[in-house]
Structure 1
Amino acid sequence: MFDSPSPNADLLRSILEPLLEDFQYWFQRSRLLLETEALPFLGTEQRDSLLKRIVVAQQEVSTAQMLFRATGGQVGIELSVMKPWHDLVAECWQVAVRRRMQEAAAQASDEKDCNGL
């Protein structure tokens, strides 16, 4: 007997697949930021710790994506597994916001110095 995909599998696929892709996008973007940009407000240990956690999370998400695809979208992921990824993305966003604030302050300072000449 042939099993037809359930409507729940379609719903799961429509939600989970893009969510996993989003995690990968934000982890890759954050990893690039940490590996290439100067972030004076972030100590070396903090930076290294965050980078290591991102690398591990990327591997976990990749594994989840492979399993999801291998089963044809028939399996989900426990929220308890995804919550640390969500928390890590939020932490990465905070670093990016802080970097933008620092750049804006530096730019404002530069403009003030140029106007004062």
Structure 2
Amino acid sequence: MLFSDVPDPELLKTLLEPLLNDFQYWLSRAKVLLSTEEISFLSPEAHSDLLARVEQTLQEVNAAQSLFHATGCQVGLDGSAIVRWHTLVAECWKIMIHYRLGQGSQGSPIEQS
């Protein structure tokens, strides 16, 4: 996930710090939603799986942030980890949007789209 052969630490700090903060913010919001609300358009298995993936990825992001700061911003992230995290965040955004849209109406928001 992390590698040490990277360019300028200031460039990494400028690029990675806000990205890691965004991942942490959105994954934390998804975790709260999935931990506290019933998502009627997700099966219990899909709900549980998504929550587990969010929790695992949040741990990975937190670990990456800790290593990033502990090394003085001299470690980068593997692109495949960033893509995987972004894909999960996008999946969570879709669920959150459908959930919010469905709160004021009957039935599944996916069926209404």
Letter of the aligned partner of 1:34 in structure 2?
Answer: L
The higher relative CO (CA closer than 8 Å, separation ≥ 6) is in: 2
Unpaired segments of 5 or more residues in structure 2? 1-6, 107-113
Letter of the aligned partner of 1:39 in structure 2?
Answer: I
Name which one, 1 or 2, has greater alpha-carbon Rg. Answer: 1
RMSD: 1.3
| Equivalent-residue separation in structure 1 for 2:31 and 2:66 (angstroms) | 21
Structure ranking higher in helix proportion = 1
Unpaired segments of 5 or more residues in structure 1? 1-6, 107-117
Could you tell me the TM-score, scaled by structure 1's length?
Answer: 0.81
Does residue 16 in structure 1 map to residue 20 in structure 2? no
**Structure 1: which 4+ aligned runs deviate by more than 4 Å?**
none
SS of residue matched to 1:104: coil
Letter of the aligned partner of 2:96 in structure 1?
Answer: A
How many residue pairs match? The answer is: 100
Could you tell me the TM-score, scaled by structure 2's length?
Answer: 0.83
Does residue 81 in structure 1 map to residue 81 in structure 2? yes
